[in-house]
Structures are given as structure tokens and as C-alpha cells.
Amino acid sequence: MPSVCFYFQVHQPCRLRRYSFFDVGHLHDYQDDAENRRILDRVARKCYLPANALLLELIDRHEGKFRVAFSLSGHSLACLFSPQEFRAQVLRHGERIRTLFGQSGRTFRHTELIYNNDLAATAERLGYGTILAEGMEKILGRRTPNQVYRPAGCKKLKILLRNYRLSDDVAFRFSDRNWTEYPLTAAKYSHWLHRIRREEAVISLFMDYETFGEHQWPETGIFAFLRALPGEILRHPDFRFQTPAEAAEGHEPAGEIDCPAFISWADEERDTTAWLGNAMQRDAARALYQMEPAVLQRQEGGVLKTWRMLQTSDHFYYMCTKWFADGDVHRYFNPFESPYEAYINYMNILDDLSRSIKQPEGEPA
């Protein structure tokens, strides 16, 4: 029986205040709380609250046959620089999920679907049963993304791969009037899914939750599309909805996925260049993670929290200097006037944090 697996990424970055050289040594509050609140309120009003209400309505209407999954995380790049810090963050995140929701996560999804063989092995050692990644041709070859696989070197862990074409039809192309398939209706989209007839098929549709109402405005018809979609998909009696964990548990691996180099779902390259593709980004990341021994030695919760906040991948994303289509996307999300401004602002903050760490505890920086 083919399974449809909807997963939504929920993420809002901690935006930094404009921090000049003259603030170093004087101002130790780095976040732009007012802007963070303004944007969170806007996205909640346009996306989170109406989308939550609609999903609950659909779950009730279809008596639990409609199922979705969410990822809520801090979006760190620690796995690329510090295995120790990465493991600490994963364990801390798991504790937070248990505290808030009373659930233990069974599926591992890393920042922007960053993935490679070593990350899969770490996730397996941490007890996860499923991991998510981008279904790109680089690791699939001629195989389909619509099946469950086993990561190379793992014995129990299973991997689900995003069908990026079908996912991006909703996330990016839905309101594009120049798209040959515009307008996209729930009936048309469901027909595309129903053509995937393999009994063992798992169709993984992963996208930003902000697709609904924020990236695709209500005026585009995105909520009407979502409201009609489960019924259209379930109209075919052989199709069902499953969470990633359910889909992985219910299907045997169709083969092995070997991915020695890091991939992601970002930009045309689908690698880590969205965050580490230029000298500014690499310099900022190197400076940040070189502070780890001093931060841990300090043993001060506030300093550790601030250091981890500065690991959020968005800070490096704002420094990206890509052009063409990818550059347009980066500029849309960038609160700074340029990547260079983002870099200077970030490095000023790192300078101040570094000075604060070196000060004896209890003394002003």
C-alpha cells in the first residue's frame, strides 16, 4: 500500500541586533527582541495559527487517517565542526521535546536536511530509528526517492528521502503563474501521486511549514488546496498517510544509500555552500567554534546559551554571496543590507563575546 509522508519544518531564527564596533565591550545583549517578536507574531497570524487549526480540522474529519509530522529545532551547524557539541545539542533537544510534548523523537532530521554517512551513524548510535535526507540523484543514481533505504554502514537505521520535485511543486511553484502546471489543484496533485503505484512506495513530501500562508499567501489559494488535499489522496483506496517513523517501520529497505560527502536541501547545489560557501562564512564559523573550549571551561549557563544561539545556521546564511535564483532567495530572507554587513555585524558580536569569556566571572567586560 503506497504511503504519503507529510513533514513540515518549523523554524524562526533569532535575529541579531545591529551591532557596531563601538558596541564591543559595552553592549552584551545581541538579539533584536523587538524584530524577533514582530516577525514571529506575523508568521503565527499568517501561518501557524490558521494552519494548525486547519490540520486539526482535517485530522478530525478523516478520523486520524490524515497524519503529518513536524520538526522544531534550533538549526545549528555543530555537526560540521564539533561532534561533542553536536551530540550535546541533540540530547538537549530530545529532552526539550519530552518536556513540551511528552514524546520521545524516533526520527532524526538535521538542519536543512544536512546529511552524510557519518551523520547517519551518529543518529543510529543515539537511538534513532529513522533519518531524513534529500532525494537527490547524486546519491540515488537511477533509483526512485519513493522508497525506504538503509544508510551505508548502519544496521538498524532507515532513511526516507524527500521527493524534491513533488515537494517543491507546493513549496515554491504553487503560485507561479509562469509554471506550465499553474494552477495546481488538489485533484491534479493527487493524480500525480496516484500514478506512483508501487505497493512499497513511500512518497516523502517535506517542506517549510511557513509554505502555508507566509511563503504562499492565503490569496494564492494555498489553504483551500491543503483543505482539499487529504480527501483527494484518500479517494484512492490503496493510499494512506503515515508519519516518517510509521513509514520506515512498515517498509523494508529497498537498498543502501551511500553518501560520504555532506548534502542538504538548500539551493541548486544541495550541499553546505549556502552557509559555508565563501571566505566570510568559513571565517565566521571557524571563529565561533574555536571558542568552544573557553565557553565550556567558563561553565556559565548564560555564556553557553549565547554561544549556542550564535550557532544558528541563519547567521551564516545571511553572509551568502550567491547570485541568480539562489541569490534572490537569500536576499529575501536576509535582514541585513548585504552579506558583508551581516558578516561584520556577526564578527563584532563574536569579538564582544570572546572578551566577556576572558573576563573573570562577576567582573564587567
The C-alpha atoms of residue 77 and residue 86 are separated, in whole angstroms, by 8
Domain parsing of the chain, residue ranges: 3-257, 277-358
Sequence letter at residue 56: L
Q: What pLDDT score was predicted for residue 334? A: 87
From residue 357, alpha-carbon distances to 291, 298, 312, 350 in Å are 9, 7, 20, 10
The C-alpha atoms of residue 87 and residue 246 are separated, in whole angstroms, by 25
Is 73 or 54 the better-scoring residue by pLDDT? 54
From residue 258, alpha-carbon distances to 119, 150, 155, 193, 234 in Å are 12, 9, 13, 27, 34
What does pTM read for this prediction? 0.94
Return the number of other C-beta atoms located less than 10 Å from residue 127's C-beta.
13
Q: What pLDDT score was predicted for residue 329? A: 61
Cell of residue 223, nine digits: 489553504
- Predicted confidence (pLDDT) at residue 173 exceeds the cutoff of 80: yes
Contacts of 355 (CB under 8 A, 6+ apart): 24, 25, 365
First to last CA, the chain: 62
Sequence letter at residue 10: V
Q: For residues 158 and 129, is the Cβ–Cβ distance under 8 A? A: yes
Mean pLDDT (whole number) for 174-189: 98
- Predicted confidence (pLDDT) at residue 36 exceeds the cutoff of 90: yes
Assigned CATH class of 3-257: alpha beta
Q: What's the pLDDT tens digit per position in 191-205? A: 999 999 788 899 999
Contacts of 210 (CB under 8 A, 6+ apart): 10, 43, 47
Burial 315-332 (b: 16+ CB within 10 A, else e): bbbbbbebeeebeebbbe
Q: For residues 301 and 260, is the Cβ–Cβ distance under 8 A? A: no
Residue linked to cell 545556521: 313
Which residues are known to be catalytic? 112
Query: 138-152, 181-195, 221-235, 315-329: which range is least confident on average?
Result: 315-329
Q: What is the mean pLDDT of the chain?
A: 94
The C-alpha atoms of residue 336 and residue 108 are separated, in whole angstroms, by 32
The pLDDT confidence band at residue 64, using thresholds 50, 70 and 90, is: very high
Q: What pLDDT score was predicted for residue 330? A: 56
The pLDDT confidence band at residue 333, using thresholds 50, 70 and 90, is: confident
The pLDDT confidence band at residue 281, using thresholds 50, 70 and 90, is: very high
- DSSP for 320-354, please give it: ----HHHHHHHHHH--SSSHHHHHHHHHHHHHHHH
The C-alpha atoms of residue 37 and residue 91 are separated, in whole angstroms, by 27
- Predicted confidence (pLDDT) at residue 327 exceeds the cutoff of 80: no
- Predicted confidence (pLDDT) at residue 350 exceeds the cutoff of 70: yes
